[in-house]
Structure 1
């Protein structure tokens, strides 16, 4: 056979892909996917238990489930009680109860604040997992009586200022509805998941939160 026959040419092993590297790459990707699934599994499991299995005797949930879920917009920023601006996504990891009103808090506004406060307080040892938020949609002054009543350590309602148009784009209401009529719930991974009815029944909201905190240990 001729020495220059292509069949006799030596193949440089270094030019071939190393199967060990490919195997490590595939293994690394698989581990990353499994890690993400592991992190999300408590939330997925609790949603399945709560909305599919329905542990409470098959009863439907009181709040309206937001579908598809709406993550907190990355661009949505809030100004806190000290005047510092930060993204709302910074509050991930807790259950957020959101009410939206202007600084001139009327009767409907104070009722929503009371509902949010009492929902948190009524959770007992679990209350630290719940953060009520008053999204204030203007730059007006806040009545100090509201601060004393709701922004205290027990109620821990956060007074945050945010853009009204940005909130309206994110928080869904029915046709003809008003975002100020509802209490909204955001889960610990940052998804808007539920809207409570206008003039919500405090006992039913409290019961809803007890079940959610029981079946979801995230946050």
Structure 2
């Protein structure tokens, strides 16, 4: 027959074992159900899980300025304006304008951020120039085949006009915003990311 002390010791051992196993079970459950974790975040944009990796070579400079400065993407947070068609209509034009204004709203953090317009279709340079004629610091790129596939995978359909994607300093596509996004909400997300980021 067990003494009260032995029973207490046995209960203590069971309790210690349970406390050590529960965190592993919770971690496994969240790994199997990542949408539960995403649902608890306060992001305004849609988190890309897992992030989609890119290479600098995926972005092919559209003009000489962009080719000379494409290396600026590395090590910076990047706002990617996706232009899927051979025209930049009102939604597309507004998205370009909004990211330009958004960069100015970032204050001292603007040096940590770059902007790029990524064209998914062939566009005549003289036509495209009219889309960003007053936007002298905007980088422009054609997407190579690998990047095209990654963006299509992200959307699971043809990407819409006005799509905005955030890329981290390591080249991971990690958040996206639907056309007509609110630049103030994007700013809130960016400020959170910059506050916790050790790079870029």
TM-score (norm 2): 0.66
1:125 corresponds to which of 108, 111, 120:
108
Deviation at 1:161, TM superposition (A): 2.6
Match in the other structure for 1:30: none
Does the C-alpha gap of structure 1 residues 87 and 146 become closer, same or farther in structure 2, counting only changes over 3 Å?
Answer: closer
Moved more, 71-80 or 201-210: 71-80
Correspondence for 2:50: 68
* Matched residue, 2:91: 108
Match of 1:170 among 150, 167, 187: 150
Larger radius of gyration: 1
Q: What is the count of residue pairs matched by the alignment?
A: 159
Long gaps (5+) in structure 2: 1-36
Change in CA separation of 1:217 and 1:103 when aligned onto 2, cut-off 3 Å: farther
RMSD, aligned α-carbons? 3.0
Larger RCO (CA within 8 A; separation ≥ 6): 2
Tell whether 2:184 aligns with 1:203: yes
**Structure 2 CA distance for partners of 1:93 and 1:83, relative to 1, 3 Å:** closer
SS in 1 for 2:81: strand
Gaps of 5+ in 1: 1-51, 53-57
- C-alpha distance in structure 2 between counterparts of 1:87 and 1:75, whole Å: 13
| Residue of structure 1 in register with 2:78 after alignment | 96
Superposition TM-score, scaled by structure 1 size:
0.61
Contact 1:92–1:189, Cα closer than 8 Å, also in 2: yes
In the TM superposition, what are the counterparts of 1:1-219 in structure 2 within 5 Å? 60-73=42-55, 76-82=58-64, 91-101=73-83, 102=85, 104-136=87-119, 137-140=121-124, 141-142=126-127, 144-151=129-136, 156-163=137-144, 165-171=145-151, 172-176=153-157, 178-219=159-200
Tell me by how many angstroms 1:85 deviates: 5.1
Aligned residues of 1:75 and 1:87 also touching (Cα < 8 A):
no
